[in-house]
């Protein structure tokens, strides 16, 4: 388990100090500029943050919007993983599969998720499905690429040991390739979650969305209430931080052997 030591507290304080410095600079700048449309004051932003259950701009609360976005991201993320990990295992393991799939993967990979937005509406209609589709398009490739890399990075010797002990192809994949590739796959999941979370803001600009942090940001922009946008951004950042912490904890719990084999 992850224990918090004195060293950890010291490290966290260093990070906290930088954040506080940025907040001070922000507040000074906001007071100088005196224009809520350009730089809202921290006071205004915290006024929104400190009442997370109150309706925002006549709509749902900050927490409600956050939960909607979180639901969309989790759905998209897990769907992407469910597709990307098996395909990645196949493409990483088999040179045949690689020959077939690699070109199309390399072509689709650089396409930004936002570019899929017109198709999202056309294929999935308005509503949560099109949003989740965009998120899947963003989350899919980091997981896929990392799974392929993870499989290819599995030491040849390990699979030889398994072969030597007469493991079937399936057993080799199940008992050697998957556990061996798992640390790299985990990194892929971690990166992918970050991308998915970034995508949700863009995805919620699709027609038919009436809730979520991305929607709230657009809504606030149309009303010139930038302090709500600031609050939304902070929430987005904090959730990203939480998710990353979970991933890192998972790494040290399950993959402490990585890099020491």
Partner 1 sequence: MEPVLTLNTITKTFRDSEQNCPALAGVSIDAYPREILCIMGPSGCGKSTLLRIIDGLEQADAGTIHIAPGTMAGSLSVAMVFQDPALFPWLSIYENIVYGLRLAAQKVPEDEVNERATALLALTHLDSFAHSYPHQLSGGMQQRVAVARALAVTPQVLLMDEPFSALDTFTRRELEDEVIRIRDGMKTTIIMVTHNPEEAVYIADRIIIFSERPAVVSEVLPVDLPHPRDPAGPEFIRIRELVTRRVLGKPDP
Partner 2 sequence: MKGPKPIFWFIIVGCVLLILLFLLLHFSSPFAVQEDMKPRVYLLYASAGSMPQLLNTNQIDSFIIWEPVVANAQLSGIGKMIATPADLPPPGKWENTASCILVLRNDVITQYPDTSALLSALTIAAINRTNEEPELAEEITADWVFGNNSILTPDGSLDPSDVENLSFSNMVFTAYANPPESGLSTNAQEEMVSSGYNAVGMINSGVALRGEQFLNGSAVPQVPRDIPTLNIGYLPSSDNFAPLYVMARDSPYFCEQYGFCLVPDDQDATRPVQCTLFVQGEPAAYINLIPAQSGGGIMTTIGQNALEGAYVGSVPAELQIVLGNPASIIQSINTGGSGLVVGNSTPVGDWKNFINWVKLRSAKGKPVVIATVQSSIQENMIRDALAYENISVMLYGTDFETGYP
* Interacting residue ranges for partner 1, rule: CB under 8 A: 155, 157-158, 160-168, 171, 175-176, 179-180, 182, 255-258, 260-261
**Cβ distance 144 to 192 under 8 Å?**
no
Residues 157, 102: contact at Cβ < 8 Å? no
Asked if residue 26 lies in contact with residue 199, where contact means CB atoms within 8 angstroms, the answer is no
Residue 47 interacts with which of partner 2, partner 1, none, CB < 5 to 8 Å by class: none
Answer yes or no whether residue 8 interacts with partner 2 by CB under 8 A: no
Size of site (CB under 8 A) for partner 2: 47
DSSP letters spanning 164-232: HTT--HHHHIIIIIHHHHHHHHHHHHHHHHHHHHHHHHHHTTSTT---SHHHHHHHHHHTT-HHHHHHH
Looking at 170, 259, 260, 261, which residue binds partner 2 (CB under 8 A)? 170
* Residue 8 interaction partner, one of partner 2, partner 1, none, beta carbon < 5-8 Å per kind: none
Cβ 119 to partner 2, closest distance in Å?
A: 13
Q: Tell me the C-alpha to C-alpha distance, in Å, between residue 12 and each of 17, 18, 199.
A: 9, 10, 28
CB of 160 to partner 1, least distance (A): 6
Give the rounded distance of the alpha carbon of 242 from its chain centre. 11
Q: How far is the CB of 242 from partner 2 (least distance, A)?
A: 24
Which of 20, 25, 50, 18 shows the shortest CA–CA distance to 227? 50
Within positions 71 to 130, which residues make up the interface with partner 2, using CB under 8 A? 79, 82-83, 86-87, 89-90, 93-97, 121, 124-129
Radius of gyration of the chain measured on its C-alpha atoms:
22
Interaction between residue 137 and partner 2 (CB under 8 A): no
Interacting residues with partner 2 (CB under 8 A): 35-38, 55, 57-60, 64, 68, 79, 82-83, 86-87, 89-90, 93-97, 121, 124-129, 159, 169-170, 173, 207-211, 218-219, 221-226
């Amino acid at each position: 388990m992850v224990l918090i030591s004195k060293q950890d507290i010291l490290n966290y304080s260093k990070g906290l100090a930088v954040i506080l410095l940025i907040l001070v600079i922000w507040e000074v700048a906001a007071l100088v500029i005196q224009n809520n449309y350009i730089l809202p004051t921290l006071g205004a932003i915290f006024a929104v943050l400190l009442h997370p259950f109150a309706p925002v701009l006549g709509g749902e609360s900050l927490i409600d919007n956050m939960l909607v976005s979180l639901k969309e991201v989790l759905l998209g993320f897990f769907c992407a993983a469910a597709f990307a990990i098996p395909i990645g295992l196949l493409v990483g393991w088999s040179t045949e599969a690689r020959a077939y799939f690699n070109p199309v993967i390399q072509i689709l990979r650089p396409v930004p998720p936002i570019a899929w937005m017109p198709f999202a509406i056309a294929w999935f209609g308005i509503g949560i499905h099109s949003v989740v589709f965009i998120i899947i398009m963003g989350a899919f490739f980091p997981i896929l690429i990392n799974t392929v890399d993870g499989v290819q990075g599995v030491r040849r010797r390990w699979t030889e040991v398994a072969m030597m002990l007469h493991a079937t192809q399936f057993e080799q994949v199940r008992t050697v390739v998957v556990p061996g590739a798992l640390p790299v796959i985990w990194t892929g999941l971690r990166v992918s979650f970050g991308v998915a979370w970034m995508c949700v803001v863009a995805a919620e600009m699709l027609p038919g969305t009436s809730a979520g942090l991305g929607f709230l940001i657009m809504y606030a922009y149309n009303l010139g209430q930038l302090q709500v946008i600031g609050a939304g951004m902070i929430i987005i950042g904090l959730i990203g931080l939480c998710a990353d912490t979970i991933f890192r904890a998972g790494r040290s719990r399950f993959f402490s052997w990585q890099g020491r084999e």
